[in-house]
Structure 1
Amino acid sequence: MSTNPLPSPGRPTFGVEIEFLIATLFMGTEDPDEGVKDLPPVLRIPNEALGDRYGYVNRLVKEVLDEFLPPKSPLTTVGNESMRSILQQYNEWTVDHDASVGQVGNSLYQIVGVEVKTPVQFSSPNSFKAVSLGISAITSRFRCTVNIRCGLHVHVGAVSELLPLEQMRRLASLVYATEPLLYSLHDPIRRGNYYCRPLQDFATIGSPDGEGVVELVEHIQNKEDKWLCSNYIGTDRRHGEEPLSAREQYRDDSHIEVFLATRQSGHFEPFTTRGKSSRDINILPEVHSEVNPRVSAAQLSSLQPPVEQARQRNIPRMRIPRFSTEDHRTRYEMSQRSGCAIPRHELKDLLRRGPATSVFKAVYRIYSQPATCHISELLSASERPGINILGHGCYWVGDTPSRRTIEFRLGEGSLDGEWIATWAKICVGIFKFALYSSACQFIDVLTKCDQAMKEDGSYDIVDLLDDIGLFAEAEIVERRLMANRYRWNLSFDESEYELLFAAALS
């Protein structure tokens, strides 16, 4: 029996949270940009909606999404009530007011912060296409923008299952190793943002001298309310055992005693719940039949699925940014002006802490942990890390429904539908590679990421995407890096230009 926790092997589920701003005006107010070519009409707030301005805007955005991407049929799930509740919360596009991404500076408009959440979907070309199409629909109807406070969050998971210990070890190791490469796809100021703090800078796992690692593990072990996760739900999952949702469902003493007996020295049999064992499957509908046929062919033509094939690199290798004390202070000051800076005492701790620990030292710390909740704490980076695995911590185990996802929070706000879909594909690709790659492929990527921390220009995000099979996404990333080369102050290995030119002529 396979230990794969996914109902559909190799197809994780994902959802995207897009934060942006919509420009509005009250009735009778002059439009400061009237007559600008190709600009959508400004959204006017009628007098009767002034008392519920945010709700009025949210309803209009939802109507546009429903027009282009009609709501799905009700989610079909068979399983325990907790898992069903989790998925039903994310069964359709939702639109909410987001006060955290309000106006920065002066504006002639009344700016409304909006957060759009996509439904939970299995990863597929059609589901990524739907994300891009939804954003295009919004930007064609409203005057939208993003600022330094806006983020782009991607949740990736195995439907509503917790990841077993071995998969969490691999995933945590990979996100720690690849984090600097993933940050290089966004404005460097994101590293100073309170809402997406880097693991290597702020999490216990990245401490160069290991300060706090032992104390944190002892703290977890000594907390009585975490015993259930540390010794039962969050431990390893053997070949032939049921997904972890079965352990969540059966938490009485008799089941735990049987489980612990299988973990004693000399015992290797799989633990299964008593009685007839049957695994329920959560079925998520596909999106290929949900796209409104009235959408023009021109809109769909830009959303063709990528052709995945081996390719030739087109740009020189990028040097991973190294941040000095002055760089950290500059990013902090810029973030502070926008109201999203990390606390000053955390900046002092970062400057005192110095460079992060190496990849394989961090991997050793991760693999030394006996349960997923320990790993979750090690990579917590306070409350809002750039890559958040807290959904697999002790706090979320039990009867209260929660998202069982890995949340990639480090993305900067964007209204480019193609890029949003591409970033979602990259996050899903990291998740899939961590869970399903062979041991030699996995270790090879970790080794290259470790080398990148020590040697400038030896390995970059384009190399990573090629190594994990995201060839079409690597092409898009190359264009993105070159387009933002000067704005982000990126540095490339200039000696590679001649090699690339010669390869192009051959």
Structure 2
Amino acid sequence: MASGIPNKKEKLSFGIEMEFFLAWRAESFTGTVPAPPGSESKTGGPLVVRGNWARESDIVSALALMIDEAFPSSAATVAPSGGGVPDYGDQEWHHLYPFRRWDVSFDPTLKRLPKALRDKTGPDFGWVGAEVVSPALWATDEGFEEVRRMCEFLQTNFWIFTAPEAGFHVHVGKGNEWLSVNSLRRIAAFLYAADLILAQSHPEHRRDNIWCPSLRLYSNVSVGIKNPPIQAQPTPPDEPTEVRADEPTEVGADELTEVREQSAYAGFMKLAQNFFQSWVGRAEPPQENQVLTKHRFPPRPTVSTFNINRDSVERVLGYHGPTLEEIQDPRTYKPIPMMTAVAEILRSADRRSIARLMNIGQRRGAYSFLQLEREHKRTIEFRQAASTVDPVEVVTHARIAVGLCQFAASASHEDFFKIILDCETAGEHPSWYDVYDLLKEVGLYPEAKVVQAVLSGTMTDAMRREYWLSRGHEPRP
């Protein structure tokens, strides 16, 4: 195995998807629109719709027009490094054509209004489920500032209701390019190991949710799906080595070197054990009756037990059927050991293999790699955050998604495996290691403070100002 030298950092990009309910009224309506819950002290009002409002898409189109006028372009939008306009007819750019500017659409998953809004609708006013999608943005201060400006625009001008039915998603990629296979392996393994820890940064209703189920509990690798064995065929010394598999895998010439690198992780379990032995000098997990003093975030997040949903297990086991070496009984199902799953992910030969292990049947989980099997997106999707248009919360979750990917892809082997082993330890000792510890270790201390304040309901204007300053943003008056 290589030493602890970090990999070269990849230039990352990101995009966000904000789901929420939007208040609207017809231009001809002269009455009073009932205010949404919690909006008494906020600015803004219903979206004014001119012309037709017979369909939800007609209403949302009115918001799209306003956003087009207010956000014509962004300096942080992904574009060629040499400047100029991307050629979206080119294969390397066509997948970004839908993500070149802010977009708004009706969200069919929010067609049913939550109970709090059902008595606040009429023939000429009401609420509609909307999704606002950002362009593909470089993960720079300018990119995060663009997102902040959009959130402030929405908060200032409209009544918005963020119900538990809605979510907030972040996509992380590498501009118009694919993330390297080695980076994808490490990111996938890292997110799998940290899944139950990272879930602590979200409210309870986002943890056992059909739209973002746990990878550790239900993913294909968790139920026992494995990579096909890869065998290198002997060749003369002067000829390039070919990599073959028992089952066909699509590996391009540019990926051949990276596939060979999978052998560096072939002895992962032994490597992890050796690393653990060299790591015994660390503080031992405390007994339950000991007081914890190693972190600055009292109180710790609520540590809840993840109850396995038998219907979800039956679906994923039924999908795989006879392809599993051993089919478990859904009534007694347990995921395979975490370290075994991590080792399997790290030996994946290509992006399709990674996606196959990380999917839940053919569905997406809390961290989705499903789009890696398709050409229209080249991103990893973070799906577990709750619906919000709060600028601090949105930028925080976007920076967390980017920061976790950047750490996993570029950290030294020692730092990478240390956190994976901490996540393993936390399975037996939940009080030993939490999401605040993890975020601090990967360089996301300001974001950890925001997460703690949001979850504990202690966010203040002073904390918002402190966060913007910590990340180089100008605080607003």
User: Residue 236 of structure 2 aligns with which residue?
Assistant: none
User: Residue 54 of structure 1 aligns with which residue?
Assistant: 57
Query: Separation in 1 of the partners of 2:33 and 2:416?
Result: 55
2:382 paired with 1:378: no
RMSD: 3.6
Query: Separation in 2 of the partners of 1:104 and 1:343?
Result: 28
User: Residue 276 of structure 1 aligns with which residue?
Assistant: none
Deviation at 1:350, TM superposition (A): 9.8
User: Residue 252 of structure 2 aligns with which residue?
Assistant: 232
Query: Separation in 2 of the partners of 1:228 and 1:184?
Result: 36
Deviation at 1:171, TM superposition (A): 1.1
SS at match of 2:14: strand
**Which of 331, 347, 352 is residue 368 of structure 1 equivalent to?**
347
Deviation at 1:378, TM superposition (A): 0.8
Letter in 1 for 2:424: D
**Same amino acid, percent of matched pairs:** 23
Letter in 1 for 2:406: K
Deviation at 1:119, TM superposition (A): 1.2
Residues 181 and 320, structure 1, Cα contact 8 Å, conserved in 2: no
Residues 220 and 316, structure 2, Cα contact 8 Å, conserved in 1: no
Residues 56 and 106, structure 2, Cα contact 8 Å, conserved in 1: no
Flag the 1:357–1:444 CA change in 2: closer, same or farther, 3 A: same
**Which of 41, 44, 47 is residue 43 of structure 1 equivalent to?**
47
Deviation at 1:88, TM superposition (A): 2.9
Deviation at 1:65, TM superposition (A): 5.9
TM-superposition CA deviations, 1:294-333 (whole Å, max 9, x none): xxxxxxxxxxxxxxxxx972324446421346xx59xx9x
User: Residue 14 of structure 1 aligns with which residue?
Assistant: 14
Deviation at 1:192, TM superposition (A): 3.0
Flag the 1:358–1:160 CA change in 2: closer, same or farther, 3 A: farther
User: Residue 103 of structure 2 aligns with which residue?
Assistant: 94
Deviation at 1:150, TM superposition (A): 0.8
Query: Separation in 1 of the partners of 2:148 and 2:399?
Result: 12
Deviation at 1:15, TM superposition (A): 0.4
Letter in 2 for 1:158: K
**Which of 346, 368, 371 is residue 391 of structure 1 equivalent to?**
371
Deviation at 1:100, TM superposition (A): 0.9
Q: Superposed, which structure 2 residues align to 1:100-499 within 5 Å? A: 100-102=109-111, 103-105=113-115, 106-109=118-121, 110-207=126-223, 210=224, 212-213=225-226, 227=248, 229=250, 231-232=251-252, 235-238=255-258, 313-318=296-301, 320-324=303-307, 352=331, 354-382=333-361, 383-393=363-373, 396=374, 401-483=375-457
Residues 63 and 104, structure 2, Cα contact 8 Å, conserved in 1: no
User: Residue 31 of structure 1 aligns with which residue?
Assistant: 33
Residues 64 and 103, structure 2, Cα contact 8 Å, conserved in 1: no
Deviation at 1:132, TM superposition (A): 1.8
Letter in 2 for 1:104: P
Deviation at 1:142, TM superposition (A): 1.1
Residues 389 and 407, structure 1, Cα contact 8 Å, conserved in 2: yes
Residues 21 and 144, structure 1, Cα contact 8 Å, conserved in 2: yes
Residues 62 and 95, structure 1, Cα contact 8 Å, conserved in 2: no
Residues 228 and 246, structure 2, Cα contact 8 Å, conserved in 1: no
Query: Separation in 2 of the partners of 1:87 and 1:313?
Result: 41
SS at match of 1:58: helix
Deviation at 1:436, TM superposition (A): 0.6
User: Residue 4 of structure 2 aligns with which residue?
Assistant: none
Q: With the length of structure 2 as denominator, give the TM-score of the two structures.
A: 0.70
Letter in 1 for 2:338: V
Query: Separation in 1 of the partners of 2:228 and 2:173?
Result: 29
Query: Separation in 2 of the partners of 1:234 and 1:202?
Result: 32
- Please list every run of 5 or more consecutive structure 1 residues that lacks an aligned counterpart in the other structure: 1-7, 240-261, 266-310, 333-341, 486-506
Residues 165 and 237, structure 1, Cα contact 8 Å, conserved in 2: no
Letter in 2 for 1:237: T
- The structure whose residues are more often helix, as a share, is 1
Letter in 2 for 1:352: R
TM-superposition CA deviations, 1:444-468 (whole Å, max 9, x none): 1111011112212111111111110
Deviation at 1:234, TM superposition (A): 8.8
Residues 216 and 378, structure 1, Cα contact 8 Å, conserved in 2: no
SS at match of 2:22: strand
User: Residue 70 of structure 1 aligns with which residue?
Assistant: 72
Letter in 2 for 1:70: P
TM-superposition CA deviations, 1:222-272 (whole Å, max 9, x none): 77xxx462x436955359xxxxxxxxxxxxxxxxxxxxxx99x9xxxxxxx
Deviation at 1:90, TM superposition (A): 1.0
Q: With the length of structure 1 as denominator, give the TM-score of the two structures.
A: 0.67
Query: Separation in 2 of the partners of 1:359 and 1:113?
Result: 38
SS at match of 1:464: helix
SS at match of 2:409: helix
- Please list every run of 5 or more consecutive structure 2 residues that lacks an aligned counterpart in the other structure: 1-7, 80-84, 231-243, 264-293, 319-327, 460-477
Residues 160 and 403, structure 1, Cα contact 8 Å, conserved in 2: no
